Amino acid sequence: MSDYIPTLDQQLCFSLYGASMAINRAYKPLLDALEITYPQYLVLSALWETDGMSVGAIGERLGLDSSNVTPLVKRMEGAGLVSRVRNPADERQVVVSLTDAGRDMQARSTCLGQTLFAAGGMSVERLVQLNKEVQAFRDSVSRFVSEQPRG
């Protein structure tokens, strides 16, 4: 009982892992056309909600640490999507702000959600419910991790 051995398909981790990769593959041609990557799209999404976040705040929002966000945002700066400026009030912080190109990307990226909706083949209601369940699971696991000794 305590050493029950599940098959691959019985493991939620495998479904979620595969779903994430499948989404990336569905997004790929659209992201290529926009000349951004998926994590870059997430950074933009975070900034569309709250422009001018620090590197740390972006990482907090997306669940990534500075070693991911720093090079990500630097590439986005190179692509002209954001600017990076040290906060004069606290020189430790780097404030990331949208450029016009970064703002324009919001309207240009609506194809992503539309495509995923078409690809998912589910009703809006079912997708909303699925999103709620996945969020609840994610948040519970994240809470668990942060409560662990090494978290």
Partner DNA sequence: AGGCATTATATGTCGCGACATTTAATTCCC
Partner DNA sequence: GGGAATTAAATGTCGCGACATATAATGCCT
Residues binding DNA (CB under 7 A): 17, 21, 24-25, 28, 37-40, 54-57, 59, 63-75, 84, 89-95
Minimum distance between the CB of residue 128 and DNA, rounded to whole angstroms? 24
Nearest to 59 by CA among 45, 43, 74, 48: 43
Minimum distance between the CB of residue 89 and a copy of itself, rounded to whole angstroms? 26
d(CA 148, CA 150): 6
The interface partner of residue 100, options being DNA, a copy of itself, none and the CB cut-off 5 to 8 Å by kind, is none
The interface partner of residue 82, options being DNA, a copy of itself, none and the CB cut-off 5 to 8 Å by kind, is none
**CB contact set of 55 (below 8 Å; sequence gap of 6+):** 66, 69, 70, 73, 93, 94, 96
Q: Which is nearer to DNA, 39 or 120 (CB)?
A: 39
Per-residue x/- track, 22-61, a copy of itself (CB under 8 A): xx-xxx-x--------x---x--xx-xx-----------x
Which of 52, 71, 80, 113 is close enough to bind a copy of itself by CB under 8 A?
A: 113
**CB contact set of 65 (below 8 Å; sequence gap of 6+):** 59
- Residue 10 interacts with a copy of itself (CB under 8 A)? yes
Q: What is the DSSP string of 24-72?
A: HHHHHHHHHHHT--HHHHHHHHHHHHSTTEEHHHHHHHHT--HHHHHHH
